[in-house]
Structure 1
Amino acid sequence: MSLQNNIYSTLKQLVAVPSVTGTEGENIICEKIYDVLSGIPYFKKNQKNYGLSTIDQDPLERKFIWAIVNGKEESKDTLILTGHIDVVEADGFGHLEPIAFDLEECTKRITELNLDEEALRDFLSGEWIFGRGTADMKAGIATNIEIIRELSENRNFKGNLLFLGVPGEESNSEGMIASVPFLLDLQEKEGYNYVGAIVSECSIPKSEGEKFKRIYIGTVGKIMPLFFCVGKETHVGESLKGLNPNLLVSEINRILEANPDFCDKVNDKITPPPMVLKQTDLKEIYSVQSPLFAISYYNLLTLNKSEEELISELKDLAFKAFSNILSDIKEKRERFLESCCEEAQYIEVEPYVMTYKDLISKVKEKEKNFEDYIREKVKNWEKEKLDSQTISINIVKETYEKYENKRPMIIVSFIPPYYPHKHLDGEDEKSRRFMDVIEKTIQYAKENFDETIIKDDFFMGISDLSYTGINGKQDLDNWASNIVGYGINYDLNLEALSKLNIPGIVFGGEGKDFHKSTERLNVPYSLKVVPELYKYIIHYILR
C-alpha cells in the first residue's frame, strides 16, 4: 500500500479506540500502538529501540510510548516526532455518540446533526472525514507511526528519529511532563543531540476560505494564578465585626476578568484576556457564620511575559482589590452608623498581600517537618480522587493554618498546570538550522504541491511543545516556589526542562472544530502532502 493508505488504515484503527483523557482508554491505545510498532520488521530485530514507560505515581498508571530508529550513518543528531494519544469525550455528538469513534460511519451520518454552513460544505466536498480524534490528533500519531515504518526500511538518513506518543495532553500534560526525564536521560547518557521536534497537531484555519496552511514556530504559555482570600469570620448579626472574603474574590474578579492589561503581545499575536475558571468560598455547610476563606483562579496565557513581571502585576491587582473593598465598606459603615441609634462595633483592617513563596517560607521557619506533613495530606487527598487544582487550594489552606500571623490577607500563587511559552527565535545555531529547514520546506511545498504554507508565531491552543525546553532567562526558582504543590503532587521538573534546548514547531495536517461534534480532518492535505513534507524535513536535517 502507499504511504497515504497506510496512514489512513492506522488512523482508522487509532480513532476506533476511545482514548478519552483520564480513562483506561489511554492505556488501551498505548498498548495498541505498541502492538503496531511490534509488527514493524525493524523493531522485531531491535527490540530495545521501542517501549512503554510508566508515569511515576500516576493514579491511572498511564504510560507513554517511544520508538527510536537509528539511521544507517551514525550520529547523535536526533529529530523528535511527537503528539498526544488522548482525546476529549464524545458526549457532544448526541445520538451519534455511539459511532463517534468510527470515522467512516461518523462521516457517513454526520449530516444527521445540525451542521453549520462551513461544516456542511466540507462534508459535501468529500475531502473531509469526521469523528472524535481525527484531527485532534490521531492523524498526527498515525503519520508519525507510518513515517517511522517507512524510514526504518532503508534508514537512509544520518542520526536518529525518535517517536514519542504521550497521554494526558487534554488534562494536565502528564505524559509529556513524564517524558522530560526520559529525553534528558538520552541526552546526558547517550549523548543525543536534539536538532528539532515536530508536534504533529493540525493547522487550524482562522477564517473560512483560507487558502493557506500554517507552521507554528511557537506555542502559547499558560499559567493559572490562584488568589486565596482570608477574611475575618463573624456572626451575621454582627456583620461589621468581620470581613467576608467573598467580597475580596468578587473584586479581584471584577478587575481581572477580561482585562486587556493582562494580555501578552508578540508581533501581531495577542493572547485573549484572562477568564476566571473557578470562584467560590470554602465554607462546606450552612451556618450563620460568615466564611473565612474564598478563592478564585484564572486562565492566563503568556507569549513573552516574565515571572517577575507577572507576579508583580498580580500582587498589585490584589492590593488594589483589597483597598477598593475596604474603602467601599468604610463608606457603607459610616452611612450605617449615622442612622444607627446605638453604638456599633466594627473592625479596622489594613490591606495585606503576600505570595505563596513568602508564606511557606515563614511557615517552614517554625514548622521544620511541614513538607512531610503536607505530603501525607496530599496522599490522602489523592485517595479521595481530588483534582490537582483542589489539592493546591487545600495546600494553601493548610499552609495558612500553620502561619502564626493570622490576619485578613490575599495570598497570590500559581497552581497546575503550567505551560511555558516557547518560540523559535533563531538565537542559537540549533534554532537557526531548524528555521532554515522550515523556510526550505515552505518553498518545497509550494513548488511540488502548490500548497501555500505560512509561518505563524504561536500555536494558540496550548500544546506539549511547551515541554521541549524552557527559556534559560526565566527565574526558575521563583516560578517553582510560587507553584503550589511543586515537587509534591505536581511533577514538572523545571530544572530538567531548562537543560533541554530543543527547537520545535507545531506542524501537522489541517483540522477544524477541535472538541466539537464537527471535528474533522482534511484528507488530501493531511494524509498526502504533510507526510511528504515530514520526509523532506527529516532527510534535510538528518543528512
Structure 2
Amino acid sequence: MLQCREDVLALTKQLVNIESIVNTDGEKIIAKSLFTLISSFPYFAAHPSHVRMEQTRNDTNERYNVLAFVKGTKGKSNRTIILMGHMDTVGIDDFNQLKDFACSPDELMEALKSEDLPRSARDHLQSGEWLFGRGILDMKSGVASNLYLLKYYSQHPDKLDGNIVFLAECDEEDGSNGVLSALKMFQSWKEEHGFDYVGAINADFVSPRYEGDTNRYIYKGTVGKLLPSFFITGAETHVGSCFEGLDPNFIAAELTKQIDYNPELCNEANGETTVPPVSLKQTDLKPSYTVQTALAAYVYYNFFIHSWTPKDVLIKLKEQASIAFDHALASFDERYRKYCERSGEPYRNIPWRSRVYTFEAMEQTLIKENGNAYVNHMASFKQILMQDPELDTRMFAARVVEEAWKWMADKSPAIILFYSSLYSPRIELTGKTDKEQALIHALEQAVEQVQPEYPHPIVTRNFFPYISDMSFVALSDDEEGIRAVSDNNPGWGTKHFVEYSDIRNLNVPVINIGPYGVDAHKKLERMEMAYSLDIVPNITNLVIQGLLQG
C-alpha cells in the first residue's frame, strides 16, 4: 500500500483553496496554478513537452485543460492509461454568510461548529475523519489522487511498464468543453508517441445510494444523459372566451404528468435501472403579460439511459406525447361539456386532434414544401440568434423551433419533440473486447487486494449514476443513434456541435474510482478522508499496475 494520505490531503486542500467555479475566471486560475505545479516536478522540468496547458476549442469562455504524461522505463510497452478528473466546481452562493470560507476547509469547519447542522453532518464534523468545502468531494480530492500518482510515477518511471496520461479538465459542470477539447490532444499524443490507450480511470465522487447504505462504489461505464424537449403550440384566445382556444400550458401540464417519474421510462440493463425522467423546465413563451392565452409552451426533461439509444428515446417519448395530447383533449372536452351544461351555452365539437412530430420530421416537411427559401431563412435566423451571448443552447433550440413553426401550413395545436442540449453518451462495460476484459480483471484484483485494509464493503456496479466526463472517452451508440441526436437538435452546427468521431477514435474503456462523501453541490459538501485519501489512490494504482502487466 502506498503511504499517500498526507500528500493527497495537502494536494486536495491546495486545489480547493482555488475558487474555480465553472464559467468564471477561476477556471483559468486553477489551470495555470496546476500547470505551474506540475512543471515544477523534476521529471517535467527535464521533459517540459510532457506537460501542456491547452485552451478549449470552439468555446465562448477562455479556459484551459492541463494534460501531462509520464513514459515508463520498466519496459518498452506503449500501453497507456488515462487518469482524468475535472477542476471546475459549482457556485458558492448556497454558503450564504459562510461564503468567504467555502474554499478554505479548515476555516469553514471551524465556522460550522457554531452552525445548527443536521445530526449526520455534526457527527462528521466532530469526528475529525471528514473534510468539508466546495469542490472537496466533486471532485478536487479525486484530481488530487490522480495528481499524486502522476508525481509518484514521475519520480519512479522505472516502476511503469507503459505510460500514464493525466488530464485535469475544465467545464465538466456545464458543457464538457474541457474533455471534448482534450480528445484532440489524446489523438495527437497517440500519433506522436505511439500511445496505445488501454483504459481510462475517472475520479468523480461516489455517494450512498440510499439512507443507511455503507457501501463504497466503483463504477464500470456510465449512465447516458439526454435532454428531450417539447415545443407545444396551442390555439390562442382571449381568457374571457377560454373554450374558443386551447392553452398550450394545459397540454404541457398533461405532458409533464405523463412523463415525470414514469417508471415505464426507466431503462434497465445489466441488472441496473435508471431513475425515471423529471422536468427541468416548464414555461410558456409569452414575453409579457396579456389577457390572451399563450401561443406556445416549452418543457424539457432530464432523461437517463443505460442501453437505449437516443433514437429509442425519441420513439418512446413520441408515444408518450401522443398519449398526453389525447388525455389533454379528452379532459378539455369533458370540462367544456360540463361548462356548457352549467352556462346554457351550446356545445360544439372541438376542432383539434393530437399531432406530435419530431423536429427532424417537421424540418423535412418544411424543406420539401419550401426548398431553399426555408433553408436560407433559417440559416440567417440562427446567425442572428448567435449574436445573443445570453441565449443558452436550450433556449436557442426553442427559438429555432418557434421560428420554423411559422412556416407550417397547418398551425393547429401540435407538439414538436427535439433535443436541446448536449448528449452525454451511455457507456456499457461488459467485457465484449479484450481491453474491457483486461480493465475489469485489473479492477477486480485491485478491489480484492485492498478490501482487507478498509472496514466498509467496496462494491462494483455497472453504471456511474451521475452525469460525468466519462461519457466522452468511449461510445456504445452506433452511427444511427448519434444521428438521432444531430438531426433532432435545432442548434446543431451553430450553437451546439460535438465531434463524436473524436470519441469513437479514442473509444477507451473507462471506470470510475473516486472519493466517497455526501452532499455534493450543497453547502455541507464533504468527503470521508480514509477512503478518499488512502483507498482511492491505492486501488487506482493497483489497476494501473494490473493493466500494464497485460
Tell me which interval the TM-score lies in, with the shorter structure as reference length.
Answer: over 0.9
> Counterpart of 1:195?
198
AA partner of residue 482 (structure 1): N
- Aligned twin of 1:106: 108
Give aligned-pair identity as a percent: 31
Q: 1:319 aligns with which of 318, 322, 328?
A: 322
Kindly tell me: are residues 434 and 238 of structure 1, through their superposed partners in 2, closer, same or farther at Cα, counting changes over 3 Å? same
Secondary structure of the residue that 1:479 maps to in structure 2? helix
Distance 1:446 1:328, change over 3 A: closer
The amino acid of 1:525's aligned partner reads Y
Equivalent residue number for residue 467 of structure 1: 472
1:481 to 487, 490, 503: 487
Residues 476-485 or 421-430, more deviating: 476-485
Which ranges in structure 2 are unaligned for 5 or more consecutive residues?
Answer: none
Contact 2:513 2:540 in 1 (8 A): no
Of the three residues 60, 82, 87, the one matched with 1:85 is 87
Aligned ranges 1:419-438 → 2 under 5 Å:
419-438=424-443
Distance 1:403 1:47, change over 3 A: farther
Residue of structure 2 in register with 1:458 after alignment: 463
**Alpha-carbon RMSD:** 2.4
TM-score, normalising length from structure 2?
0.92
Aligned equivalents of 1:342, 1:110: Cα separation in 2: 65
Contact 1:242 1:347 in 2 (8 A): no
CA distances 1:385-407 after superposition (whole Å, capped 9, x unpaired): 12222112112112222344433
1:419-464 Cα shifts (integer Å, max 9, x gaps): 2222211011000000010111011103556664211222212211
Note if contact 1:100-1:106 (Cα within 8 Å) is conserved in structure 2. yes
Indicate yes or no: 2:46 matched with 1:45: yes
Residue 224 of structure 1: how far off its partner (Å): 1.2
Counterpart amino acid of 2:109? T
Give the corresponding residue for 1:378: 385
Distance in 1, matches of 2:492 and 2:78, equals 33
Letter of the 1:20 partner, please give it. Answer: I
State yes or no: 1:440 paired with 2:442.
Answer: no
- Tell me which residue corresponds to 1:222: 225
* Cα separation, 2, equivalents of 1:80 and 1:207: 31
Which residue of structure 1 aligns with residue 300 of structure 2?
297
Q: Deviations over 1:46-90 (max 9, x none)?
A: 222221222223222122221111122343321011111111222
Tell me, yes or no, if the aligned pair for 1:381 and 1:391 is still in contact at 8 Å: no
Tell me the residue number matched to 1:410: 415
SS at match of 1:31: helix
Sort the Cα spacing of 1:342 and 1:527 in 2 relative to 1 into closer, same or farther, 3 A: closer
Counterpart amino acid of residue 94 in structure 1:
N
Report the CA distance shift for 1:446/1:258 in structure 2 as closer, same or farther (over 3 A): closer
- Alignment TM-score, normalising by the size of structure 1: 0.93
- Whether the aligned pair in 1 keeps the contact of 2:221 and 2:509 (CA below 8 Å) is no
Q: Which residue of 2 aligns with 1:273?
A: 276
Name the residue aligned to 2:405: 400
- Change in Cα spacing, 1:186 to 1:359, as seen in structure 2 (3 Å) is farther
Select between 151-160 and 273-282 the one with higher mean Cα deviation: 151-160
Alpha-carbon separation, structure 1, partners of 2:387 and 2:5: 49
Counterpart Cα distance in 2 of 1:493 and 1:200: 24
Give yes or no for contact 2:425–2:477 (8 Å, CA) kept in 1: no
Deviation at 1:196, TM superposition (A): 0.7
Give the structure 2 partner of residue 11 of structure 1.
Answer: 12
Higher mean C-alpha displacement, 337-346 vs 7-16? 337-346
Q: Paired residue for 1:509?
A: 515
What residue identity is the alignment partner of 2:68?
A
Is the 2:57–2:177 contact (alpha carbons within 8 Å) kept by the matching residues of 1?
Answer: no
CA–CA separation in structure 2 for the residues paired with 1:30 and 1:163: 13
**Structure 1 range deviating more: 427-436 or 414-423:** 414-423
Q: Does structure 2 retain, via aligned residues, the 8 Å contact 1:470–1:500?
A: no
State the Cα distance separating 1:187 from its structure 2 match: 4.3
Report the Cα offset of residue 503 of structure 1: 0.8
Partner of 2:261: 258
Q: Deviations over 1:458-517 (max 9, x none)?
A: 221221111111114462212221233123222222233233321111112222221122
Cα drift, residue 38 of structure 1: 1.4
Tell me the distance in 1 between the aligned counterparts of 2:395 and 2:466.
Answer: 24
Question: What one-letter code is carried by the residue in structure 2 that aligns with 1:478?
Answer: A
Answer yes or no: is 1:177 the counterpart of 2:184: no
C-alpha separation between the residues in 2 aligned to 1:210 and 1:345? 58
Q: CA separation in 2, counterparts of 1:363 and 1:188? A: 44
Instruction: Give secondary structure in 2 for the equivalent of 1:81.
Output: strand
- More deviation, 116-125/148-157: 116-125
One-letter code aligned to 2:540: Y
Q: Specify whether residues 491 and 190 from structure 1 end up closer, same or farther in structure 2 by C-alpha distance, changes over 3 A only.
A: farther
Q: 1:62: which partner in 2?
A: 63
Q: 1:331 aligns with which of 334, 339, 344?
A: 334
User: Cα distance 1:342–1:3, how it changes in 2: closer, same or farther (>3 A)?
Assistant: closer
Tell me the CA shift for residue 255 of structure 1: 1.2
Partner of 2:393: 388
Change (3 A) 1:29 1:364: farther
Distance 1:282 1:341 in 2: 34
Listed one character per residue, the Cα deviations across residues 303-359 of structure 1 (whole Å, up to 9, x for unaligned) are 222233321111111112222222233334444556667768886122211101112
| Structure 1 Cα separation of the partners of residues 548 and 290 of structure 2 | 68
Report how far residue 98 of structure 1 moved: 1.1
C-alpha separation in 1, matches of 2:300 and 2:536:
39
Instruction: Specify every segment of 5 or more residues in structure 1 that has no aligned partner in the other structure, as ranges.
Output: none
> Cα deviations across residues 273-294 of structure 1 (Å, max 9, x unaligned)?
2211111110112223221111
Aligned residue in 1 for 2:25: 24
How far apart, CA to CA, are the structure 1 residues paired with 2:346 and 2:425?
55
Indicate how the Cα distance of structure 1 residues 346 and 75 shifts in structure 2: closer, same or farther if over 3 A, else same.
same
Distance 2:189 2:543 in 1: 22
Provide the rounded CA distance (Å) in 2 between the counterparts of 1:209 and 1:76. Answer: 44
CA contact 1:14–1:29 (8 Å) conserved in 2: yes
| 286 and 67 in structure 1: CA distance in 2 versus 1, 3 angstrom threshold | same
Match 1:308 to one of 308, 311, 314: 311
Residue 163 of structure 1 is matched in structure 2 by: 166
Equivalent position of 2:251 in the other structure? 248
Q: Give the Cα–Cα distance (whole angstroms) in 2 for the partners of residues 368 and 92 of structure 1.
A: 45
The code of the aligned residue for 2:11 comes to: T
For 2:9 and 2:306, how far apart are their aligned partners in 1? 35
The 1:197–1:342 alpha-carbon spacing in structure 2 relative to 1, beyond 3 Å, is closer
What residue in structure 2 maps to residue 117 of structure 1? 119
